[in-house]
Structure 1
């Protein structure tokens, strides 16, 4: 027999926690194309460049005219359309590739449990989206803190304005990542998965428009529940009205007294998507 040099592994076996951590770190790097070809880095870093450039531009304008054009929370709203395309491209990279290549049995061997895989992917994508919205807000914060004319009180005001913006960014990240991964996990074809993600986000928007022009005030105020973007905006308006609404007329956003409904639907949507992900991978593991 020919000895080709196979040897048994004699190092330390780190266990499930380290495996999940490695999967999370690898998925987060994949979201930004790190450790991959230059082609894989083009789109995510192009999006990063846009949001950082917009933040830097807002800082420059603020230093020149002395006015805040967008609050931290409003910045997340303004960049939400970029988040849609970011999730549509990254989510299939995280899950559809593994489904299409049939390597899931390797992941689901010991000590990784079936639930660990989708949860690690969800955490990684949510972190990537949060960074996409949160890092530019930090750029805006640094610009505001270093140019304030009221000393430490001005810096503290910037901190209190930044906190709702970061929480709001986390809300965007959780909702969009949950939906994006759930849709992408349906197929192993990345192109189909990307198209499905975009369709879910964009094709529900006209429904909001139709409900918003109905003669019923209740229907108008609940219209935002029909689309992920407006659902997040409605929840944000309930939680952070002062940070999102700066005009006396309410900025054209109206949810009435249905803020708690928006919050409950948001939580239910995230939970439902996570449950669907777990069910999807339990089914995939049996193949």
Structure 2
């Protein structure tokens, strides 16, 4: 009779007997994790430095604008203007956040674990995209709320003044949502192409900054039509063109408003359609990218 060659030890593992959550809970968990990652929550102190530095900057600017308005009694920056003026910060925020959301998973090779669960392949990129859109919208929208509260408490028209401020705030929040959707869709698509965060961050910044000289070149061409369509060449000026067409005096007031409208002429609807097509195209390519990743 042969001697036993091994021993089975009972180390206390038990089968899971609790409720098994479905697709909605998986999607929600990915979305919440992505949103927390965008602001460095649940991560090291080093990961929190840049996101919260940007949050501090935009909040201080909003508080400063509110304080100046309360002192001089005039609007120095509209809600929609705030989104335009802070867009340069959003570029760098997106360049840091997008690689954190997707490039890390590509580099560490954990995607097969995600797709081993009964989760549609589109849920992973869509959850990450919605998380990034939410983070960027909060970055631009929360300071606008600070400006609104300051204006509401200092208005001299009572509830009528508060209502007027609210009517000005809502288009500003929608405009911030457009900025967020454009920046997030482009940033996440670029970041999904590489697992190296430095390359992904550089690529995101390059897309936004290197297209700006193209706009400058087209805007000085002898053709007026080409000048008015020049803003289509860059994501930032594309969004600004949509804002100039749709928001009007809520974006810029006085002579500057007429100058801005003259830059896009009668092509406002073209800018709006181009923005929608840009977002839809980026989302389509992002989904296609993860269908390819999932089959590896």
Normalised to the residue count of structure 2, the TM-score between the two structures is: 0.95
> Could you tell me which of 139, 144, 158 is aligned with 1:132?
139
Q: Which residue does 2:121 correspond to in 1? A: 114
* Stretches (4+) displaced over 3 A: none
> Could you tell me which of 21, 26, 29 is aligned with 2:33?
26
SS of the equivalent of 1:18 reads: helix
Q: Which residue does 2:212 correspond to in 1? A: 205
Q: Which residue does 1:81 correspond to in 2? A: 88
Using the TM superposition, give the Cα deviation of residue 251 of structure 1 relative to its aligned residue in structure 2, in angstroms. Answer: 5.9
Q: Which residue does 1:143 correspond to in 2? A: 150
1:73-126 Cα shifts (integer Å, max 9, x gaps): 000000000000000000000000000011001111222111000000000000
Number of residue equivalences: 287
Using the TM superposition, give the Cα deviation of residue 67 of structure 1 relative to its aligned residue in structure 2, in angstroms. Answer: 1.1
> Could you tell me which of 83, 99, 102 is aligned with 2:109?
102
Q: Which runs of 5+ in 2 are unaligned?
A: 1-7
Using the TM superposition, give the Cα deviation of residue 57 of structure 1 relative to its aligned residue in structure 2, in angstroms. Answer: 0.2
Using the TM superposition, give the Cα deviation of residue 63 of structure 1 relative to its aligned residue in structure 2, in angstroms. Answer: 0.8
| Bigger radius of gyration | 2
> Could you tell me which of 4, 22, 36 is aligned with 1:15?
22
> Could you tell me which of 261, 281, 290 is aligned with 1:272?
281
SS of the equivalent of 1:12 reads: coil
Indicate whether 1:187 and 2:187 are aligned.
no
Indicate whether 1:158 and 2:165 are aligned.
yes
Deviation larger for 247-256 or 33-42: 247-256
User: Is 2:249–2:257's contact at 8 Å kept on the other side of the alignment?
Assistant: no
Structural RMSD (CA):
0.9
Normalised to the residue count of structure 1, the TM-score between the two structures is: 0.98
> Could you tell me which of 219, 240, 243 is aligned with 1:233?
240
Q: Which residue does 1:50 correspond to in 2? A: 57
Q: Distance in 1 between matches of 2:282 and 2:237?
A: 18
SS of the equivalent of 2:264 reads: coil
Using the TM superposition, give the Cα deviation of residue 249 of structure 1 relative to its aligned residue in structure 2, in angstroms. Answer: 4.5
Using the TM superposition, give the Cα deviation of residue 10 of structure 1 relative to its aligned residue in structure 2, in angstroms. Answer: 1.1
Using the TM superposition, give the Cα deviation of residue 135 of structure 1 relative to its aligned residue in structure 2, in angstroms. Answer: 0.2
Using the TM superposition, give the Cα deviation of residue 6 of structure 1 relative to its aligned residue in structure 2, in angstroms. Answer: 2.6
Indicate whether 1:262 and 2:271 are aligned.
yes
Q: Which residue does 1:283 correspond to in 2? A: 292
Q: Distance in 2 between matches of 1:175 and 1:256?
A: 22
Q: Distance in 1 between matches of 2:256 and 2:222?
A: 20
Q: Distance in 2 between matches of 1:144 and 1:238?
A: 26
1:204-231 Cα shifts (integer Å, max 9, x gaps): 0000000011111111100000000000
User: Is 2:78–2:252's contact at 8 Å kept on the other side of the alignment?
Assistant: no
Q: Distance in 2 between matches of 1:76 and 1:120?
A: 24
